[in-house]
Amino acid sequence: MTKIIQKVNAVKMEPPRKRKVAAYARISIEKGRTPHSLSAQISYYSKFIQGNADWEYAGVYADKAVSGLTTDRPEFQRMLSDARDGKIDIILTKSISRFARNTVDLLETVRELKDLGIEVRFQKEKIHTLSEDGELMLSLLASFAQEESRSISENVKWGIRKNFQKGIGNSFHIYGYRWTGKEFVIVEEEAKIVRLIYDNYLKGISAEKTEKQLEEMGVKSYTGGHFGNNSIRQILKQERYTGNTLFQKTYIEDGKTKYNNGELPQYYARNTHPVIISEETFNKVQEIRQKKRELGAFANPHIKTSALTSKIKCTHCNRSFQRAGKKNKTGHTRCWMCATRKAGQGNPCGTGDINEEQLKKIISEVLDIDEFDDEVFLEKVDHIDVTGKDHLEFFMTDGSLIHRTYASTARKDAWTPEYKERYKRIKRSKDTNGLKNPATPYTGFIRCARCGNSFSGQRRTLKDGTTEYYLRCRTKISECPSNTIQESTLNALVCDVLDLDEYSEEAMDKAMDYCEIADNTVSFHFRDGHFEERQYEEKKRGTPWSKERRKKALKGMKEYWSDPEHRKEASDRMKKIRKEKKWSSQ
């Protein structure tokens, strides 16, 4: 009996792909949370993920001291970005409240991840978002978490306000003091710096100069970093250095800190801690600060001011227009622009630049004077409101209001006859001096033998996709019917005249002064005074018409002109052209 042996090819089994697992951790800004809690979460998740043989560790994303009411968290956003890039399959998190406290944000984020095939596992609630009942349970529990967060927030705020009424604060970090757990004590080394800052200000020394002085002294800020001028200005308005405390200067709304401008009550408590700056010194500094705010730019002797300084107001952002220098074709000019725009914050107000010379002309017209006068302007104009890109409102000192429209003529004014001539000379030479269109090898080299104008380079793309460069006279073809020449043809003629193997711009410029072109003739004028002529012919580009194409075109023209309306339309058009150009009918 014959044995039959069948050969079977073994199939190589691929091991299952490990799922990329990451974790998200967060500690909030609530009282009692510590950085140790965050590091403990990171350590736990790192070990937990790496201890699973079926998982690939994709990292732990952790936000420190941020609210869960918003998704605008650096690490949270980085995690979502990596998830979109396919770097994560599963996200682990302790609970719903750690992931997000806002129900809408939570569901939107989970649904986006679900569409990407990414599962979020909430360990405390035992919810897996890719399961059938995952989203329903998540919606219910997220609502409870959001309400719990709101309730806790209201309770915390109530407790803080009660403490404010008793003279107990909730901020324990201030340069010059240290909190012992029961009271503030003075740190004398820092207190000396606070007194130096106040003393400098009373002597007229700016915050910027004090900043440099502290840097030279090696003084660091409360956090150990650079002592900036903004920190110095904050110290100058900090009432706590007088031993008194103004509570609830700021408040938190929608997770953002805002200044309290009367939205909530404030509480002023006296003698809450030791004194570093006397109330008399503090009040003097506040008086000077207030005067400087009222004076604006005039308070700083280093700022160049004019009669227009602080007089032009933007009605959209309530800031003044500031003077700025602009470079145009004729040199530098002065203009005025909204402070918001000048600060590089875009142009949300929609106002434009106002040329200073043109503004002075408008002011002279409003005041009915021959030319702008500082004293007359300051005497008769209280301020000018800019309400749009082209509208000015003059508020006069006598109480009257005058409206004026503004249209910039700065660009037009810059094109003086002198500049036009200079621009032409630059365009005709290879020294384009940074103009938009760079020079070509033949810039300023070719002249028209008919009209004397220069040639300009142009480019056209042929049907086969290749690009062809050619040169033609700048004068209108109706006024000077000069022929064109391809750049490659002229290159070949230069090589022939100079006996070169290949074209060289340097050799051409060294030997020749210019060339003239007309009637398919190029006349090369050398620097030594002699000239040489060369004839050239170029094939006309285009596809020749076949007999069928000519026949079809002729048929179409006959059909078109057999229509009486078309003939009448053409006749009327020619009559109009003759009339406009004053052609004679005879």
Instruction: Indicate the DSSP class of residue 242.
Output: G
Q: Is residue 350 part of a domain?
A: yes
The mean pLDDT value for 125-147 works out to 68
Q: 130 and 210: one domain?
A: no
Q: Is residue 385 part of a domain?
A: yes
Q: Is 462:468 a contact under the CB 8 Å cutoff?
A: yes
Note the pLDDT tens digit of each residue in 509-533: 899 988 999 888 999 999 898 999 9
Rounded to the nearest 10°, the torsion over CA 396, 401, 407, 410 is 0
Q: 206 and 286: one domain?
A: yes
**Count of alpha carbons within 13 angstroms of residue 422, beta-carbon side:** 10
Phi first, then psi: what are they for 220, rounded to 5°? -105, 160
Q: 472 and 502: one domain?
A: yes
3-state class of 230 per DSSP?
helix
The residue type at 62: A
Q: 457 and 492: one domain?
A: yes
Note the pLDDT tens digit of each residue in 472-514: 888 887 788 767 888 888 999 999 999 999 999 889 989 998 8
Note the pLDDT tens digit of each residue in 312-325: 899 888 888 888 87
CATH number of the domain residue 245 falls in: 3.90.1750.20
Per DSSP, helices labelled H in 368-469 are 374-380, 410-414, 417-428
CATH number of the domain residue 119 falls in: 3.40.50.1390
Per-residue pLDDT at 425:
62
**Euclidean distance between the first and final Cα of the chain, in Å?**
119
Per-residue pLDDT at 182:
80
Note the pLDDT tens digit of each residue in 26-43: 876 544 445 567 788 888
Per-residue pLDDT at 328:
60
Q: Is residue 125 part of a domain?
A: yes
Q: Is residue 158 part of a domain?
A: no
Q: Is residue 431 part of a domain?
A: no
Q: 319 and 407: one domain?
A: yes
Q: 32 and 147: one domain?
A: yes
Per-residue pLDDT at 585:
45
Q: 228 and 316: one domain?
A: no
Domain that holds residue 403: 312-413
The DSSP element (H or E) to which 208 belongs, if any, is helix 207-217
Q: 194 and 278: one domain?
A: yes
Q: 110 and 201: one domain?
A: no
Number of domains present in the structure of the chain: 5
Note the pLDDT tens digit of each residue in 196-246: 999 998 988 888 889 999 999 998 888 888 888 888 888 888 888 888 877
CA distance 447 to 455: 6
Q: 132 and 50: one domain?
A: yes
* pTM of the shown model: 0.39
Q: Is residue 166 part of a domain?
A: no
Q: Is residue 169 part of a domain?
A: no
